[in-house]
Structure 1
Amino acid sequence: MRVYTLTFRQNLPISMEKAWGFFSSPRNLATITPAMGFHITSELSDKDKMYPGILIGYKITPLMGIRMNWLTEITYIDPHKYFVDEQRAGPFAFWHHQHHFRTIGAGVEMTDILNYAVPFGPIGRIANALIVKKRILEIFRFRQMKINQIFGEC
């Protein structure tokens, strides 16, 4: 299994409390995800915050109208520093996504480190080169744009 790593950084002109408050709410994920049939299927209230062990289910349509279920678990949290989500069931052979937060000057630096693997061996590696990596990059570019619209830019 080939594991790929992508890193994304974004500076936000907001307090750590505001950043953590937004990103630690599973409900806000839909706000920063592009239109791809993304829908949270877990029973969550608007007041729900992440905690280690919470399972979050989604329906997604990432490519060619194919509808998929995806289940992630929040495995680690250090409030105001980082949290990690890992796929338990879904389209990837492996998904480990770290979200790091660090106070910088008058804002927050947010760093995402994504480690993922595509199933199906050599076919998956070709699919990653042709489709999957590009789609992930599109999703994170959209996310960065949407976050800048919500909070502004540093």
Structure 2
Amino acid sequence: MKIYTFHKKQKLPITKEQAWDFLSSPKNLKTITPDYMGFNILSGADRPMFAGQIIQYIVTPVMGIKTKWVTEITHVKDGEYFVDEQRYGPYALWHHKHFINVIDGGVEMEDIIDYKVPFGFLGQLAHPFLVKPKLEEIFEYRTEKLEALFGKY
């Protein structure tokens, strides 16, 4: 089964501390997720991020179908990066690395997602028409939302 990689970078005119404070709070994920996805945290967002943290939420990624998604924060290096991995949800594999790097005048945030789609060959056929465009749309929304919150680099 094919493993896909989605890679996105965004520059913001804020400090590393500001970026980390925002991104490392699970509660802020709702803020940077499109409203139509019906994102709702069920549990696990009641304390600052730590390795081993389990976060459960409901999301409606496509066609109004509500899906429970469970992620585990597997790695955390305060102020620099964290990794979340899907334990239950819509993907056959989801491994999402979040990096924050200092640059002149701000930070560069980098997301690298390695993922597999479900349903084998049928999922692979749907990937370029459904899954990849949806990821691009979600991250474009995040780019716009973060710029609205923190300014444009």
Fold equivalence (TM over 0.5): yes
Q: Distance in 1 between matches of 2:78 and 2:129?
A: 37
- Match of 2:125, SS? helix
Contact persistence 2:49–2:73 (CA under 8 A): yes
Q: Which runs of 5+ in 1 are unaligned?
A: none
Task: State yes or no: 1:96 paired with 2:87.
Answer: no
Aligned equivalents of 1:146, 1:22: Cα separation in 2? 12
**Per-residue Cα deviation, 1:115-144 (whole angstroms, up to 9, x for no partner):** 111011110101112101111110000011
Q: 1:44 deviation in Å? A: 3.2
TM-score normalised according to structure 1 size: 0.96
* Structural RMSD (CA): 0.9
What's the CA shift for 1:106? 2.0
| TM-score w.r.t. length of structure 2 | 0.97
2:11 is matched with: 11
Q: Is the aligned partner of 1:139 residue 2:135? A: no
Identify the residue that residue 148 of structure 2 maps to in structure 1: 149
Task: State percent identity of aligned pairs.
Answer: 50
CA distance in 2: counterparts of 1:98 and 1:108, whole angstroms:
16
For structure 2, the residue ranges without an aligned partner over 5 or more in a row are: none
In the comparison of the two structures, how many residue pairs are matched? 152
Distance in 2 (CA, whole Å) between partners of 1:129 and 1:32 is 23
- In the TM superposition, what whole-angstrom CA distance separates every residue of 1:51-103 from its partner, at most 9, and x where no partner exists? 00000011011111111100000000111111000000000000000000111
Amino acid in the other structure paired with 1:126? L
Tell me the equivalent position of 1:113.
Answer: 112
